[in-house]
Amino acid sequence: MEAHPRLLKALEVRLPDDHCKIMPFIVKHDNTVLCGVRDAVSGRGEGERMAGTPSCQDQAYQPPAGPVSVETAPEASAGSTAGGATRTHTASAFVRDYMAFLLPRDLNLLWTIGAMLVAVLALMLLSGLTLALTYTPDASLAFTSVETLERRVPFGWLLRSMHMTGATFFMAALYLHVFRGLCYGSYRAPRQGLWGVGTVLLMMVMITAFAGYVLPWGQMSYWGADVAGKAVGAIPLVGNALERVFLGGDAPGTATLHRMFVLHFTLAFSIVGMVILHVAVLHARGSTSPSGAVGQNRARMLPFHPYFTVKDGLGVVLLALLFTLVMCFWPGLVTEVENYRPANPLHTPADIEPEWYFLPFYGMLQAVPSKFFGLLVSGGAVAILLFVPWLDRGNSATFAAGRWGGLCWLPRVALTVLVCSFVLAGLAGRHHVQGVWLLVGRLATLGYYLYFLGFLPFYSRLAHKEARS
Amino acid sequence: MSFAVRSLAAGRRGSVRWLPQVVAGVLVCSFVLAGQGALTASAQAAPPSGAPAHAPAQNWSFNGPLGHFDLGAVQRGYAVFAGVCASCHSLTQVHFSDLGDMGLTPEQVTALAASWQVAAGRDAEGHLKHRKATPDDALPRPYADPDAARAANRGAVPPDLSRITQVYPGGPDRVYALLTGYAPVKPPTAEAGAAQPEAGFANPYAIGHRTAMPPPLRDHAVMYADGTQPIAQQEARDVTTFLAWISNPHADDKRRLGVGVGLYLCFLACLLVILKRRIWSHVAK
C-alpha cells in the first residue's frame, strides 16, 4: 500500500487535463501530423511544437462546427444567443474530449472487444424493440406469436435470428472481456470502480439473457423457468415466497411471462445506462495496457480518434463477419431445437439444459449435493468477481518491480487452470454431472474458486514481500 | 498472466504481442473441441435396445451452407402432404399465404386455399358450418384437440409437422427413412396373427422399432402435375423436402443474405485494414 500515493500522482500527471493542446482530427494522409498528436506519435517532448501550427489559445475558442451545432441551432435563433453558444461549446468540447481520449498505443485485439460489445448491444436493442412489436407475453399466445414473427412478419426471421445470434455473441464477447480483465489485471487500483461497474453489468446481462430465453415459451423456456424457480425456492426461509414472486404462481405460466418480459425490457435499458457509466469511469481512470505501467506513459499514448476508432471499427467489422457466418450458415450453433416445440407442462424433456453460456454455472449448481449450497456456489462464482480487487491486493507499481522468486510461470498456469475449470464445469453441466462428470464437475468448481481464493491472495502477498525487500 | 507479461515486457516487449491472440485462439479452439467431444461422446454412448436405427444420410438439395430448396420438390411434397399426411397431421403454425413462398402466384395461393374447408361457426341447430379457406386462414387441423386425435388413432397423437425436421431427432434423413423403412408385412398366418402382442407397425427407425403410423405412402397415392412418376420413394423424398422447407421457410433467404453480407463485409474489412495500416504507419512502436 506504500506505493499507492505514488501511483495516484502518476495518474494525475497522465490525465489529459489540457485538452486544448490535443487536436486529434488533424492527421493528414501524407503522414504529416499537425498539432497535438505529434508529440505522442513521434515520442518527443510535448513542448516541441511544429512550426506554423495554431497555438493552443487559437484552438480553444473556435466556433463550433460539425453535427453537434445542428441540435442547438433553433435555440440560438430564438434569442438566447449566449446560452446557446455556451451549450454548443460544451457539446462540441464533450465530443472533442471523448475523441481526444488518450489510450496506450500497444493495446491489442482483446481491447477492441469493448467496442464489439457496444455494437452488439445496439443491435440487440434495435432488433429487440422491433420484435417486441409482435411478441405477446401470454402462455397461450407467446409461442404462436414467435412463429408468426418467424414465418409472416416481413424480415421477422432476420430480426429474430439476429437477436438470438446476438445473445450468444454478447455473452461470448463478455466472457472474453472479463478474461482480458483478469489476464492483465484491469481490476487493480485505481480501476476497482470500473471493474465493479463491469461486474454488475455482467450480472445484469446474465439476468436479461435468462429472461429473454423464457419468452419464446418453447419446451426449454418452460422447463428452464421451472428449474430456475425451484433453485430460487431452495433458499431457506424466504425461498418459497421468492419462488412464488418469481413465477407468479405455483408453476410457470402467463404471470411468469409477464415478469420475464418486463424484466427483459427494463434491464436492457438499465444496461445501456450502466454501459454509459462504465465508459465514463473508464475515461476518468484511463485504460490499462498490455505492457502495464510502461504503456501508460503519457508520451506513449495516442488519441482515440483516429487511431482507435479505425482499430475498433476493424474489430467490429470482423465480428460482424463472424456473426453473419454463424447466423446464416451455421444457425444450429446458436439455436436449441427443443425450444421449437411449444411448452408442455405435462411432458418433461429428457435433457433440461440452459444455453451454453450458463452451462458452467449449471454444472457448479449440480456438482454440489445440497440444492441451496449448489445455488450459493454457482451464484458465488459470478459474485466473487466483485471482490477480485480486494482479493488481489497488489497494484501495477509493485508488479512492475517484482521478479517473483522464480515463480513467473505461476500466473499463466493459474489462469489456464481457471479457463479449463470454466470449460470443464460447462461440459459437466451438459452431461448432468453423472458418473465421471460428477468428479469432473467438482474438480472444476474447486479449480475455479482456487484461482480467486487461493492464487490471487497468495500471489499479491508474494509481490508485496518482494517490493518491500 | 499479467505478471508474466509485464516481466517479459521489461525485457523484450515485442515477444509477447502474439500472446492475447494465441490465448483467444486457444480459447475458441478448446470450446469448439470440447463441444465436438461432447457431441461425439453423446453419439457414441451405448444405444439402449429398441433405439431407432441410424438413418442413412441422403443427398438433399438443401444440405450444406450453400444448399437451397428444390421448389419443384417442395410443391410436389405439398401435394403429398395435402393428399396423404393432412388426414392425420396438422401444420398449426402455417397459414395458406405462407405457401406462396414455394413459388406460387397470389392467384394460385387463393385457388389452393379454396380447395380446403375451414370451420366457420355454427348454424341455428348448432351444427358446425364450413367455408372455403382464404389465404389468411391457418391450415385447418384434422382433429379438434389431442383427445379426439388420441381416440381416432388408438391412443397415439399424430405430431404437429410445423417444425418436424428440426425437432425430430435425426432430421430429414430420419423422416425419409421412417417413411420408406417399414418392414414388409408378414403373410398373415393363423399363428402369427394370434400371437401379435404389440400394437403398431414394425419400423427400425421408430422408437422401440414400432410406430403407430400405418405405412402412409404407396405408389400412385397422389397425381403429380409435372409428370414425375409418383412412386413411394419419390413421394417420400418430396414430402420430406416439403416438411424441411415448412420447418424453416426462410433458410434460403438467410443463406443468400449471408453470401451478400459476407462478401460486403470482407470488402469493408479489407478497406479498413488498409486505412488502419495507413493511419498507424507513422506510429513508432
Q: Count other C-beta atoms under 10 Å from residue A63's C-beta.
A: 9
Whether residues B254 and A33 touch (CB distance < 8 A) is answered with no
Give residue A128's pLDDT: 96
User: Which residues of A are marked as active site?
Assistant: 283, 287, 311-312, 355
In a domain, B154, yes or no: yes
User: Which chain B residues touch A105 with a CB distance below 8 Å?
Assistant: 283, 285
Quick one: B275 and B237 in the same domain? no
Rounded-to-integer distance, Cα A54 and Cα A71, Å: 28
Q: Give the pLDDT band of residue B84 (cuts 50, 70, 90).
A: very high
Quick one: A125 and A90 in the same domain? no
Which residues contact residue A135 at a Cβ distance below 8 angstroms, ignoring those fewer than 6 apart?
A142, A145, A146, A149, A215, A261
Quick one: A318 and A444 in the same domain? no
In a domain, B272, yes or no: yes
User: Which chain B residues touch A423 with a CB distance below 8 Å?
Assistant: 30-31, 34
> Mean pLDDT of all residues in chain B?
83
Quick one: A223 and A331 in the same domain? yes
Rounded-to-integer distance, Cα A282 and Cα A328, Å: 35
Quick one: A258 and A237 in the same domain? yes
Whether residues A329 and B5 touch (CB distance < 8 A) is answered with no
Quick one: A152 and A89 in the same domain? no
Task: Give A159 to chain B, closest Cα distance, Å.
Answer: 11
CA A422 to chain centre: 18
Whether residues B98 and A152 touch (CB distance < 8 A) is answered with yes
Quick one: B235 and B274 in the same domain? no
Quick one: B202 and B89 in the same domain? yes
Is-cis flag, bond preceding B230, omega within 30? no
Q: Chain A, 405-424: which have a CB under 8 Å from a chain B CB?
A: 408-409, 411-412, 415, 419-420, 423
- Do the beta carbons of residue B135 and residue B110 sit within 8 Å? yes
In a domain, A428, yes or no: yes
CATH of the domain at A203: 1.20.810.10
pTM metric for this prediction = 0.81
- Residue whose C-alpha cell reads 450502466 in the numeric block: A274
Give residue A386's pLDDT: 95
CATH of the domain at B149: 1.10.760.10
Confirm or reject contact between A176 and chain B (CB < 8 A): yes
Count of all residues that appear for chain B in the document: 285
Quick one: B211 and B263 in the same domain? no
Whether residues B2 and A426 touch (CB distance < 8 A) is answered with no
Closest-approach residue (CA) in chain A for B276: A310
In a domain, A284, yes or no: yes
Quick one: B143 and B259 in the same domain? no
Confirm or reject contact between A129 and chain B (CB < 8 A): no
Whether residues B255 and A328 touch (CB distance < 8 A) is answered with yes
Domain boundary among A73, A100, A127: A100
Quick one: A89 and A185 in the same domain? no
In a domain, B257, yes or no: yes
Secondary structure tally for chain B: helices H, strands E: 10, 4
Confirm or reject contact between A61 and chain B (CB < 8 A): no
In a domain, B132, yes or no: no
Q: Give the pLDDT band of residue B49 (cuts 50, 70, 90).
A: low
Q: Chain A, 88-117: which have a CB under 8 Å from a chain B CB?
A: 105-106, 108-110
Quick one: A309 and A286 in the same domain? yes
Element spanning B278, H or E? helix B251-279
Give residue A403's pLDDT: 53
In a domain, A276, yes or no: yes
Q: What is the distance between the terminal CA atoms of chain B, rounded to a whole angstrom?
A: 22
Residue numbers of the domain that contains B274: 250-285
Domain total of chain B:
2
Q: Chain A, 257-286: which have a CB under 8 Å from a chain B CB?
A: none
Give residue B261's pLDDT: 97
Task: Give B255 to chain A, closest Cα distance, Å.
Answer: 5
Domain total of chain A:
3
Whether residues B94 and A151 touch (CB distance < 8 A) is answered with yes
SS3 call for A102: strand
In a domain, A227, yes or no: yes
Task: Give B203 to chain A, closest Cα distance, Å.
Answer: 23
Residue numbers of the domain that contains A184: 105-356
Interface with chain A: mutation pick from B22, B279, B280, highest number of A CBs within 10 Å? B279
Quick one: B87 and B215 in the same domain? yes
Confirm or reject contact between A322 and chain B (CB < 8 A): no
> What single letter denotes the amino acid at residue B53?
A
In a domain, A48, yes or no: no
Whether residues A329 and B65 touch (CB distance < 8 A) is answered with yes
Quick one: A112 and A242 in the same domain? yes
Interface with chain B: mutation pick from A34, A296, A321, highest number of B CBs within 10 Å? A321
Quick one: A120 and A94 in the same domain? no
In a domain, B9, yes or no: no
Whether residues A158 and B20 touch (CB distance < 8 A) is answered with no
Quick one: B210 and B181 in the same domain? yes
Whether residues A294 and B13 touch (CB distance < 8 A) is answered with yes
Share of chain B above pLDDT 90, in %: 60
Interface with chain B: mutation pick from A178, A186, A317, A333, highest number of B CBs within 10 Å? A317
Which residues contact residue A53 at a Cβ distance below 8 angstroms, ignoring those fewer than 6 apart?
A34, A35
In a domain, A39, yes or no: no
Q: Count other C-beta atoms under 10 Å from residue B37's C-beta.
A: 11
User: Which chain B residues touch A157 with a CB distance below 8 Å?
Assistant: 250, 253-254
Q: Give the pLDDT band of residue B24 (cuts 50, 70, 90).
A: low
Which residues contact residue B241 at a Cβ distance below 8 angstroms, ignoring those fewer than 6 apart?
B60, B61, B62, B69, B70, B73, B74, B77, B172
Confirm or reject contact between A307 and chain B (CB < 8 A): yes
User: Which chain A residues touch B23 with a CB distance below 8 Å?
Assistant: 179, 183
In a domain, B162, yes or no: yes
Rounded-to-integer distance, Cα A238 and Cα A236, Å: 6
Quick one: B146 and B284 in the same domain? no
What number of C-beta contacts closer than 8 Å exist between A and B?
A: 172
Return the closest-CA partner of residue B241 out of B146, B172, B162: B172
Q: Chain A, 199-218: which have a CB under 8 Å from a chain B CB?
A: none
Which phi and psi (to 5°) does residue B166 adopt? Answer: -85, -45
Rounded-to-integer distance, Cα A298 and Cα A102, Å: 8
In a domain, B168, yes or no: yes
Task: Give A183 to chain B, closest Cα distance, Å.
Answer: 5
Task: Give B244 to chain A, closest Cα distance, Å.
Answer: 14
In a domain, A45, yes or no: no
Task: Tell me the pLDDT of chain A (469 aa) as tens digits.
Answer: 344 444 444 444 444 444 444 444 444 444 444 444 444 444 443 333 333 333 333 333 344 444 433 343 444 344 444 455 666 788 899 898 889 999 998 898 999 999 999 999 999 999 999 999 999 999 999 999 999 999 999 999 999 999 999 999 999 999 999 999 998 888 988 899 999 999 999 999 999 999 999 999 999 999 999 999 999 999 999 999 999 999 999 999 999 999 999 999 999 999 999 999 999 999 999 888 888 777 778 888 999 989 999 999 999 999 999 999 999 999 989 999 999 999 999 999 988 889 999 999 999 999 999 999 999 999 999 999 999 999 987 665 555 555 555 567 788 899 999 999 999 999 999 998 888 999 999 999 999 999 999 999 988 888 777 777 7
User: Which chain A residues touch B257 with a CB distance below 8 Å?
Assistant: 158, 328
Give residue A459's pLDDT: 83
In a domain, B270, yes or no: yes
| Partner residue facing B2 (CB), from A31, A43, A183 | A183
**Model confidence over B126-183: pLDDT tens digits?**
898 999 999 999 999 999 889 999 999 988 999 999 999 999 999 999 999 999 999 8
Whether residues A399 and B6 touch (CB distance < 8 A) is answered with yes
User: Which chain B residues touch A345 with a CB distance below 8 Å?
Assistant: none
Give residue A350's pLDDT: 85
Task: Tell me whether strands A301-303 and B117-122 are parallel, antiparallel or unpaired.
Answer: unpaired
| Partner residue facing A320 (CB), from B3, B16, B265 | B265
In a domain, A210, yes or no: yes
Q: What is the distance between the terminal CA atoms of chain A, rounded to a whole angstrom?
A: 14
Instruction: Kindly provide the ipTM of the predicted complex, given to two decimals.
Output: 0.81
Rounded-to-integer distance, Cα A425 and Cα A368, Å: 12
| Partner residue facing A328 (CB), from B4, B97, B254 | B254
Quick one: A275 and A192 in the same domain? yes
